Structure 1
Amino acid sequence: MAPESHRSPYLRHRLGGWLPADHEHLIKWAKKIVKKARDNPQPLNPTLQQFHDFIEGDPTVRQLFTLMFEQVPAVPPYNQDPTGKPEIRSYDEMLQVFNTLMTMGPHWIYNTDGQKGLVGFPFNAVLDWPMGTAAGYSAFLRQDVNFQFRNMLTKWSEYLASPDSVSVLSTDPDGWFSEEALKVMGQVASEADPNHPVTFAQAFECDPSKPAYGYLSWDDFFTRKFKPEIRPIAYPNVDIVIGNACESTPYRISHNVKELDQFWIKDQPYSLRDMLGGDDYTDQFVGGTVYQAFLSATSYHRWHAPVSGKVAKVVHIPGTYYAENYWEGFANPNVSIGPDPSAPNNSQGYICEVATRALIFFETDDADIGMVGFVAVGMAEVSSCEVTVKEGQKVTRGDDIGMFHFGGSTHCLIFRPGTDIQFTPSEPFQDTNVPVCSALGVVVKPDQKNNDLQSILQGL
């Protein structure tokens, strides 16, 4: 049943900047893409034709994909055309827009009034409101539906890894090397040391003298590396320091995490057995600590070892792409907030249990640290969490261990209950990135229980 409450636009900060903070930017972008798809309809890509046939061949799926558009309320801000209906009104139009998006890379959006916005999740933007409906919630949890999304996104990833995708790596106003985009990416890279700001070219490996700064594709740009001196490893020879695995903004620190919990409720508690896909190592972490942080659209998307030790196990878990927590959709009881307009941003705890993810377990030599779990969680468009280390491999804190491809992401570090950590970020968290390879925290030894973090760091 469609919600009847009239909800105002949801103005909560859009985590990581993957969709514009001002929803008007998203509306303008959607209108442009829909118009392009309507004015120049093309035969569906074979993967999308398969998706279409799948929807129409299953009565339940067809019902869900019909209702998810009908259940979006016909009230502002959700109705955005003169007829009082959502811009995209059916799964047929959805697939036509997807067909257009599969030949495009994510654009930088910049308006002349000085307002900037990014559509780094173009497919997510199309599904933004349908994700918040009851029908969308049911559809996007289905394994067969996610199989179709996986096929579509895998095909799109081929385009993003091709030379054709460099078209968005231009100096045009909507290009990633426009004056505004370079300025913002430089500012984000400078958050680690605001007193010594750097430009994009100073921060990242690139060649500004070449077209597209020397990047061969969108994916080559997206997975770019920092220059070695930009992110030094903090306290490199001190084992009790936990390194920050990703350039990211803290989201949550949870202690005494349960083996099984109701991760689908509004508070989205972590449920270890579900997060780790029932892995045998789960028992070691019950009652322990989970640290979660999200990655910025304009930042750095590679992962680095948080500790030194041996890679005990690598696990890939297929999952959902566009599922969000039910209570962050139109079922949100706070009518002044309404659904997450940048879903699944406000479902980050929830998607740790259901989304596509990669697990890396590290076995350290320090008994006070023991096993440490790293969970890379793909959000929305991410169709690949690439692990670059192998089981049995020795790593040193700060080593490159993998990367996200093609879109947004969040990650977790999981510690055993016997591992006592003082974290450098503390609540309320600031809306800035913690530099990758910096000291995320320190393992407190028994004789340091009464010492504060600064005194421990000063003694290293």
Structure 2
Amino acid sequence: MTTQLKPCDTTFMIGKWMPSDQKTLSDWLLLIMSKAENNKSPLLPAVERFKQFIETDPKAYMFFNQMFSQVSRDKALSPGGLPQVRDYHHMLQLMNVIMTHAPDFNKSGLVGCPFNAIFDWSMATKGGWAGFLDQKVNAHLKEVLNEWGKFLSSPDSAYVLSDDPKSGWFGADAMAAMPNFASEFQCDPDLPGYGFKSWDDFFTRNLRDGARPVAEPDNDAVVINACESAPFRIARDVKLRDEFWIKAQPYALQFMMDNDPFVSQFVGGTIYQAFLSALSYHRWHSPVSGRVVKTRMIEGTYYSQTLSIRDDASGPDLSQAYIAEIATRGLVFIEADNKDIGLMCFMAIGMAEVSTCDITAFEGQYVKKGDQLGMFHFGGSTHCLFFGPDVDIEFDTHQQVPGHGSSNIPINSRIATVNTRKR
């Protein structure tokens, strides 16, 4: 019997990070611009160091002038419908304001990614493409984002966890977007901010026991969804190396796994990629039962998108396969109990601000399907599952065609079944 697949609704942006309601987001950026214009405070230390770097490194100075000068000046708005950022001085002023702000809730879906809005158009220029690939640039971006992360992890960031009907994370608009929140997540509605101590505490919230039951926990042939995520792509017979920067964005295993010795075991195999939305549960669960044989963190980019995708209103969302080779990412290799799976790999991929891949599993640990492997901080992102060439795997995308408009499949739900190998 053939399953009828639902067509993707491409009117929404991947992961709902950037706007389905452009006016809301434009108004928000204009507000930040107004605050920046009126802010007479000096740049915060991490932002000041970034400024000094731009103005003393010849490549960075060139990149950060080109990326704004190459933006079309005959349009008032960027591809995302946002007011234009004028130059790198303006960029730094906006960053300085955002560093002490936690994201309000708004219906545009801008959750945890205000820096992405600042770079919305410059990312797609040749100067932006070169600049956001530069190792020194990314080192400074990491420092800035880490400092912002400290604020989001502090009690000072909890002010947005209010019941304000429009901007509060427990107001009427937010609760309509996150129905059944109190019954699904560990919280106390009787406490201020439902008991969450900071913005990051809220974003890395835990599920209540039983909220997402593990599909067929005793059946090792069933692979479960490792993240609360929507299917993006299924690729088979994946090559060791490929031209991942072209429009089709084919996967290149060697670069995805950063030349790891295990990479040879996945050549010709299968990759499943799915993305998290801004309102998703952000922890990762083991898709199989088995032993963790290796974990790795790979330093990478934050705001690079491929030039083959132009005018991406939510960049780098349309570059998800491309950033799987170059973005900050974490690898967890698991030797599955099921010999028909053998060695598989979970890869967390950071996107823009959402680049803190926090691996909590450790080498030698035995994990059951549904056990925690780690988490993202500050919002949604994307991830991949890798299977070797001899794994006969059939995916269940829950009646959806993988792509930009698919919807979340609950974590711990079945996403695949592995058939017995012919030996």
User: Quick check: TM above 0.5?
Assistant: yes
- 2:261: which partner in 1? 280
- 1:21-80 deviation digits (Å, cap 9, x = unpaired): 233332211111010011123111111111000000022211210121111112346369
Aligned mates of 1:179, 1:118 — CA distance in 2: 17
Give 1:314-353 correspondences, 5 Å limit.
314-329=295-310, 339-353=311-325
Where in structure 2 are the equivalents of 1:192-203 lying within 5 Å?
199-203=180-184
Moved over 4 A (4+): none
Contact 2:224 2:288 in 1 (8 A): yes
Native 8 Å contact 2:279 2:379 kept in 1: no
- Map 1:134-213 onto structure 2 (within 5 A): 134-172=126-164, 173-186=166-179, 199-213=180-194
Q: RCO higher in 1 or 2 (8 Å CA, sep ≥ 6)?
A: 2
**Contact 2:132/2:304, CA 8 A, preserved across alignment:** yes
Q: Which stretch of the first structure deviates more once superposed, 352-361 or 62-71? A: 62-71
1:96 lines up with 2:68 in the alignment: no
Match of 1:31 in 2: 30
Contact 2:67 2:122 in 1 (8 A): yes
Q: 156-165 or 86-95: which moved more?
A: 86-95
Deviating more after overlay: 34-43 vs 208-217: 34-43
Whichever residue aligns with residue 390 of structure 1, its letter is: F
> C-alpha displacement at 1:12, in angstroms?
4.9
Q: Distance in 2 between matches of 1:408 and 1:308?
A: 25
- In structure 1, the residue matched to 2:106 is 109
Amino acid of the structure 2 residue aligned with 1:259:
L
**1:440 corresponds to which letter in structure 2?**
I
- Equivalence map 1:126-137=2 (5 Å): 126-137=118-129
3-state secondary structure, aligned to 1:246 = coil
- The residue number in structure 2 matching 1:428 is 401
- Report the secondary structure of 2:64's partner residue: helix
Distance of 1:154 and 1:138 partners within structure 2:
23
| 1:382 corresponding residue in structure 2 | 354
286, 299, 303: which one aligns with 2:284: 303
Give the counterpart letter for 2:416 in structure 1.
Answer: G
Whether the 8 Å contact between 1:263 and 1:350 is mirrored in structure 2 is: yes
Instruction: Using the TM superposition, give the Cα deviation of residue 18 of structure 1 relative to its aligned residue in structure 2, in angstroms.
Output: 1.1
Q: Is the Cα contact below 8 Å between 1:381 and 1:408 reproduced in 2?
A: no
Alignment-mate amino acid for residue 318 of structure 2: N
Give the aligned partner of residue 393 of structure 1: 365
- Note if contact 1:185-1:299 (Cα within 8 Å) is conserved in structure 2: no
Following superposition, the deviation at residue 408 of structure 1 comes to 2.8
User: Which residue of structure 2 lines up, in the alignment, with residue 444 of structure 1?
Assistant: 419
Task: Compute the RMSD of aligned alpha carbons.
Answer: 1.6
* Distance (Å, rounded) in 1 between the aligned partners of 2:76 and 2:392: 46
CA spacing shift, 1:202–1:365, aligned 2, 3 Å: closer
Distance 1:283 1:77 in 2: 49
Identity %: 48
Contact preservation (8 Å) 2:229, 2:277: yes
Work out the CA distance in 1 between the residues paired with 2:322 and 2:113. Answer: 19
- 2: distance between equivalents of 1:401 and 1:25? 36
Which residue number in structure 1 is paired with residue 19 of structure 2? Answer: 20
Offset from partner CA, 1:62-104 (integer Å, 9 cap, x none): 1210121111112346369xxxx95321111111110110001
Residue matched to 1:451: none
Question: One-letter code of the match for 1:368?
Answer: D
Does residue 413 (structure 1) correspond to residue 373 (structure 2)? The answer is: no
TM-aligned CA distance change 1:211 to 1:266, over 3 Å: same
SS in 1 for 2:27: helix
Q: Distance in 2 between matches of 1:200 and 1:393?
A: 31
Indicate the SS of the match to 1:131: helix
Structure 2 counterpart of 1:201, which letter?
A
> Unmatched 5+ residue regions in structure 2?
1-9
Note if 1:371 corresponds to 2:343. Answer: yes
Q: 2:239 matched to which residue of 1?
A: 258
Matched, 1:233 2:217: no
Number of corresponding residues: 407
How many angstroms apart in 2 are the aligned matches of 1:76 and 1:258?
Answer: 41
Partner Cα distance (1:56, 1:381) in 2: 24
Work out whether residues 112 and 354 of structure 2, in 8 Å CA contact, stay in contact via their aligned partners in 1. Answer: no
Measured after TM superposition, the shift of residue 346 of structure 1 is 0.4
Residues 380 and 407 in structure 1, CA contact (< 8 A), matched pair in contact too: no
User: What is the match of residue 247 of structure 1?
Assistant: 228
After alignment, is 165-174 or 242-251 more displaced?
A: 165-174
CA distance in 1, matches of 2:408, 2:148: 29
Q: What letter matches 1:109 in structure 2?
A: N
Unmatched 5+ stretches in structure 1? 1-10, 111-115, 187-198, 330-338, 448-460
1:379-430 deviation digits (Å, cap 9, x = unpaired): 0002421111110111111101100011331000000010011111165236
How far off is 1:227 after superposition? 1.0
Which residue in the other structure is 1:291 paired with? 272
For the Cα contact (< 8 Å) 1:386–1:404, is it kept in 2?
yes
Contact kept in structure 2, 1:324 and 1:347, CA below 8 Å: yes
- 3-state secondary structure, aligned to 1:328: coil
Please report how far the alpha carbon of residue 365 of structure 1 lies from its aligned counterpart in structure 2 after TM superposition.
Answer: 2.9
Query: What is the alpha-carbon distance in structure 1 between the residues aligned to residue 386 and residue 58 of structure 2?
Result: 41
User: Structure 1 residues 319, 446: CA separation in 2 closer, same or farther (over 3 Å shift)?
Assistant: closer
Q: What is aligned with 2:6?
A: none
